[in-house]
Structures are given as structure tokens and as C-alpha cells.
Chains A and B, each alone.
Chain A
Amino acid sequence: MESYFLFSSGELRRKDNVVRMTALDGRFKVLKIEVMRDLYLFGKASMNTDCLNYLAQSKIPVHFFNHYGFYTGTFYPKEANVSGNLLIRQVEHYTDFEKRLNIAQEFIQGACYNILKNLKYYRQRGKELDKAINEIQALEKMISRTVTIEELMGIEGNIHRVYYGTWTTIINQEVDFEKRVKRPPDNVVNTLISFLNSLVYTTCLSEIYVSQLNPTISYLHSAGERRFSLSLDIAEIFKPLLTDRIIFSLLNRKVITEKDFSKDSNYFYLKDKGKRKVLEMYNSTLDETVRHKDLKRNVSYRKMMRLECYKLIKHLLGEREYQALRKWW
């Protein structure tokens, strides 16, 4: 299955039972409907309902991004894999405070483990990170002792503060990154984090769509309205593995430099060329595989997101306790 990333501006239409994107200059790209998983739109595309109906019928979610590369929303086709039984369990685990906290803690445990794994990797490469690692390890022990979600979120915040503090050490390029700033991101690293995180969310959402889970009921993040917060939960585990590692290698290998950004009215945003470089890296990382111990075969990062959904389902149905992904390779 493949994802398509469309940057050109033009028109999306159904033609010959495939979806075709025609750019303003007449060049076109045929999107193979049978092997398409999802569609990412970065340019200014217009389309008609014919096309949307066809995409929905083929069960393909379409993710939209605005001019600045911020995620704006998803065209989420009618749920194909629904399970009333699972939905009831999902809600049950949300309303029962104890159960909800358990799952939320596990998400943070997984995320924290993966963060430490990143730091240890760079320590091994001679970076001075011992202090941060110790601090995070101390915080890690507190996760299981938390009694409210707010407290848990607080610890998660602290872990991230320490973690982000190490980034200037890890990144070889000259960057001014002190803390995480959103809306709008104010420097190179923050822009990259925002952009890649939104990609991780959307990929998770595409995978949740295939599973029977309901994307609006989440455990760590409050199950708000008008957003698919379960994908934020699951993304938490994958952000250190995808977002952070990709940023490090993009900047350390100088694939991305200040030149790929433009600064307009206090915004820092990626130019199209920069976006494309990041996406190409992101897409190839998702397809990277590692040997899975239990399944005894190679699984890609994308598949691991799906497995995460399945593990959660098993937990909700009471078959097997949920254990968040911990990087074992």
C-alpha cells in the first residue's frame, strides 16, 4: 500500500476509475486507487464530489495541510470497520478512572523509554548527555506513581523539557532551540517538530481507520470534541522514533538548512522544497523494517502503528494487557 503526497496545485478528478491529479501546466499524475492507502494534499487542489465519493468508496482518507504546512483536517470516509462491542469497551475504559490512568501511563512509559533510547544512542556517540539521562530516569520512576491524568501530563511535560534541553548538544548544526514553541513555531527546530508531529498524527489516524478503534476516544489526551485524539495518544509513542530521529539526521547531515525555511511575518515555515525533503525522508523511514521478535518477521514502522492499535484492542477486550512499544532494536 502506498501514500501519495501532492504538492502541485491543480485539480483532482475521477477518470477511468482512477483518481487523477492534473497540475495547472497540464502534467498529470495517476493515483493507483487499488494500492493507495491515503492521500496527503499540500498544494491548492480543487476537486469535485465525484472524486470524493470515489475516494470514500475506496476507503482512502485524505489529509489536508494549509499553505504553511500545518495540518488542517482529514476527509475521513465512512467508518468501514465498526465494532459496537469494542466501542463499548473503549468508553468503559475511558469512564473508569483507574483503567484510563493505566493506559495513559503505559503510553508515557513507552514514550519515555524511546526518548531514553535516543539519548543513549547519542551518548554512545560521544555526546555529553549523562545529566539529562539521569534526570529523565528519575522522572520515569514517577510515572507509575501518578494518581491523576494532570499529574501524569505534568511529568510528561518535565521529561520533554529536559529532553528538548539536550537538543542543542545533539544537533551539530548551529540552531537556536531552547524550548518548544507552538502556534506559531519560532525557529527551525520548532517548525520541523510541528510539521513532523502532524505527519505522525495523520499516519496514526490512517492506521486507526483500518482498525476497529474509534479515533475520538482517547486516554491520555482528553477525549475532546471535533478531533481524533486517539491518534495523539498513539503518536506519543512514535514521536521519539520518527519525528525526533528524522530531525536529528536531517540537520546533522545538513539535508535541511536555514535556506529551506522562509520567515514571513513572524512565522517560520518550510518552503515547498524543504517540505518535500522532509516528507521523502519521513516516507522512507516509515517503510524501514526491523525484525519482530514475536511475529518472527520484518515489520515496518507503519505496521508497528497498526500493531499498537491491535494491542490496544486486545487490552480493551481483556485478552492481553497493553504494553506500549519499546524500541528493542
Chain B
Amino acid sequence: MYVILIYDISMIELRQGAKVSRNVFKICKKYLTHIQKSVFEGELTPAKLQKLRNELAQYLREDLDSVVIFKSKQKKGLDKEFWAADESEKTSNFF
């Protein structure tokens, strides 16, 4: 399934927040493509998504942080447009 993940990490407790933010970022990178500051996208199986969720759960603070997941059964049903710079290179597997 096609997934878009966005997150907000609270920086109220600066020290703690920085630590969470750093780890969440590193974990998401393993599964999804980093496209904007706190936005990731990519194709995942339900099992991989669950694995990602478990990994993130170690760090996320229930009362402060939030992670939003948009799921689509297929990438086909999802139109993607670039309104300024075209950054389609980012999700390409060719480099």
C-alpha cells in the first residue's frame, strides 16, 4: 500500500524533543523516502508498516507528539503534482 507519513514532534521539553525528533527521522528513513522536512512517502506492506509503527512507538510521547499516516491501496489512485520545484527525482530508484 502507498503511505504518506507526516509527523510533528513537540519541542516543549527541548532536550527530550530533539532526541525524539532525531530518532523518528532516522527510523522513518529506513522505510520511506524523505521528501520534505517531516514528510515521508513510499510503498509498504502492512507488515512493514506495523514494524515501523513498533519502532516509532519506543520514542513517541503519547501526550506530545503526533504522527499522521495517509494510506492508499494503490499509488495509482493518488495524483501527485509539483507546484513549484519538480522534485520527482527524490522518489526515483535511479541515481
- A: which residues have CB within 8 A of B? 2-8, 16-18, 21, 23, 29-30, 32-35, 276, 279-280, 283
Q: Which 9 A-B pairs have the closest CB atoms?
A: A29-B95, A16-B26, A34-B30, A34-B31, A5-B94, A4-B93, A18-B29, A33-B30, A6-B95
B60 on the interface (CB 8 Å rule)?
A: no
CA of A5 to CA of B95, assembled, Å:
6
Q: Give residues 42-82 of B contacting A (CB, 8 Å).
A: 42-44, 48, 51-52
CB proximity of B29 to chain A, nearest CB, Å: 5
Chain B interfacial positions (CB closer than 8 Å to A):
26, 29-34, 42-44, 48, 51-52, 93-95
Chain A residues closer than 8 Å to B30, beta-carbon distance:
17-18, 32-34
How distant is B93 from chain A, measured CB to nearest CB, in Å? Answer: 5
With both chains docked as a complex, state the minimum distance between the C-beta of A31 and any C-beta of chain B, in angstroms: 9
Contact present for A35 and B31 (CB under 8 Å): yes
Please give, as numbers and ranges, the residues of chain A lying within 8 Å of B26 by CB-CB distance: 16-18
A279 to B94, CA, bound (A): 9
Q: Is the CB–CB distance between A32 and B33 below 8 Å? A: yes
Residues of B within 8 A of A6 (CB): 94-95
Assembled-state Cα–Cα distance A4/B31 (Å): 14
The CA-CA distance from A188 to B30 in the complex, in Å, is: 40
Chain B residues with CB under 8 A of A33: 30
Q: Is the CB of A30 within 8 A of B51?
A: no
Docked CA distance A167–B52 (Å):
49
- B52: nearest chain-A partner, CB-CB: A34
Closest residue of chain A to B28 (Cβ to Cβ) is A32
